Structure 1
Amino acid sequence: MIRHDRREQTLAVCLSALAGYVDAIAFIQLGGFFVSFMSGNSTRLGVGLADNAGAAALAGALIAAFVAGVATGSVLGHFAGPRRRTTVLILIAVLLAFAAGLALAGAPMAAALVAAIAMGAENAVFEREGEVRIGLTYMTGSLVKLGQGLAGAVLGRERNGWLSYLILWAGFLAGALAGAAAFPHFGFGAIWAGAAGAFALTPLAARTERMERM
């Protein structure tokens, strides 16, 4: 994060907040399963294989949908070239709108799977040469970097290197809080706001693309 300019950092924090927002809504709707946090679903899969086939099936389906989203976002981003970020963001917005529509039609499980595809695709926004430069939908890596940055500050290396990772994590947390607050009022339909948010971020993504080409 510290190697990215201010616009890229802002986009990353907003996308992290989007992931937290969508994940919190799905978590409540599904009773403890995730659409962006696949480590949690992997644990649910392992536990479910031991004593709950239905839970294992749902966790496995969400993991498969997420991986399919990562692959889709990566392929689309590859062909989009310098317009990778805006193209992938439009894909995310369309998928989240589709998920909200499925929820409105009374198909929450299908909506959750589509939302998981969208969250997988989000990781392609900052992909370069097959590597994800900023993890947006999972915070374990950011918290590890935060801890390493704090250690670096204590040891006299980069004094503020930890701050950007704290802000990224705080963005995810703020999004999750917003999703949890919206769910009692709008149910899974609150995903509509996530779709609108993804689309609203496309101008910022376009500016980061222009800066990258300069």
Structure 2
Amino acid sequence: MTREKRRKIIRTQRTRTGLGLVAAISFIAGLTDAIGLRLSGDFVSFMTGNTTRAAIALADGDWSHGFVLLAAIFVFVLGNALGIVIAHLVPRRMFGVLASVAMLLAFAAILEAEQFRLLRFYLVVASMGMVNATVEHIEGLPIGLTYVTGALSRLGRGIGRFIMGERNLDWTIQAVPWFGMVSGAMCGALLGLAIPDHALVVAAALTMIVALSSLFIRRTLHWRFNQRTLSSSRRR
């Protein structure tokens, strides 16, 4: 087998592995977002929506709700930053990030008292920010895990280019996070109705299952899903 053929096989396997992970993690993100929306009345991963709702709340004079949503956006950004830090500090990046997300969700699940409602909301928001550090791109194509507006935009532009004669079909992978999120959101909505007090436990358990499963993925199939920092590039 030639080196080029071997590289092509590895790229194909890496793409399939990445898409499987994106589908699973987007499912968890959709599940958690639907559960979080039922529990708090606000989005835990859709920060575009929270930005608009915060602006409306502030314009209407609802300062308390407006600042809660602005703080959620700040927490989401911090969660993303923390996810990147964890991803570049631990040997198994994906396991480290997903295990941390699972623990945050589990901790949020036990905060059932009304006085901890806001803290629980922010913990779930932080976890949804962190999860974005698991898969940042697949073979150079950007992927969003907890938000699908960008994916749908890239999908639409890809369709437009296809109509205009371009036959590169890489854009089709953008449908994966949307299908993952919408199916997860439907399950989360049902869980929020059936077992509202334990729905986050299910989300935490599913996240840990995916985290443990990632330990069985060969390094050659997952280590390039993250952008490398300058310091990590120097170590290689």
TM-score normalized by the length of structure 1: 0.88
TM-aligned CA distance change 1:156 to 1:78, over 3 Å: same
TM-aligned CA distance change 1:211 to 1:91, over 3 Å: same
Aligned to 1:17: 27
For 1:36-185, list aligned pairs within 5 A: 36-51=45-60, 52-80=62-90, 82-103=91-112, 105-106=113-114, 107-127=116-136, 133-158=142-167, 160-185=169-194
Displacement of 1:68: 1.6
Q: Whole-Å Cα distance in 1 between the matches of residues 222 and 37 of structure 2? A: 36
Structure 2: stretches of 5+ with no match in the other structure = 1-11, 225-236
**Contact map agreement 2:143 2:174 (CA 8 A) in 1:** no
**Contact map agreement 1:11 1:204 (CA 8 A) in 2:** no
1:28 pairs, out of 32, 38, 63, with: 38
Amino acid at match of 1:69: G
**Contact map agreement 2:18 2:135 (CA 8 A) in 1:** no
Name the SS for the 2:92 alignment partner.
helix
Q: How many residues align?
A: 208
TM-aligned CA distance change 1:119 to 1:212, over 3 Å: closer
Report Cα offsets for 1:180-206 as digits up to 9, x if no partner. Answer: 111112115301111111111124423
Report Cα offsets for 1:58-101 as digits up to 9, x if no partner. Answer: 20121122112111111111112x51111001000000101111
Amino acid at match of 1:68: L
**Contact map agreement 2:158 2:171 (CA 8 A) in 1:** yes
Structure 1: stretches of 5+ with no match in the other structure = none
Displacement of 1:108: 2.5
TM-score normalized by the length of structure 2: 0.80
Q: Whole-Å Cα distance in 2 between the matches of residues 167 and 133 of structure 1? A: 12
TM-aligned CA distance change 1:188 to 1:147, over 3 Å: farther
**Contact map agreement 1:20 1:175 (CA 8 A) in 2:** yes
Q: Whole-Å Cα distance in 2 between the matches of residues 3 and 50 of structure 1? A: 50
Amino acid at match of 2:125: A
Name the SS for the 1:158 alignment partner.
coil
After superposition, the CA RMSD in angstroms is 2.4
Name the SS for the 1:187 alignment partner.
coil
TM-aligned CA distance change 1:213 to 1:76, over 3 Å: closer
Tell which deviates more after alignment, 52-61 or 136-145: 52-61
1:189 pairs, out of 184, 193, 198, with: 198
Q: Whole-Å Cα distance in 2 between the matches of residues 21 and 177 of structure 1? A: 7
**Contact map agreement 1:93 1:196 (CA 8 A) in 2:** yes
Amino acid at match of 1:91: S
Q: Which of these two proteins has the greater Rg computed from alpha carbons? A: 2
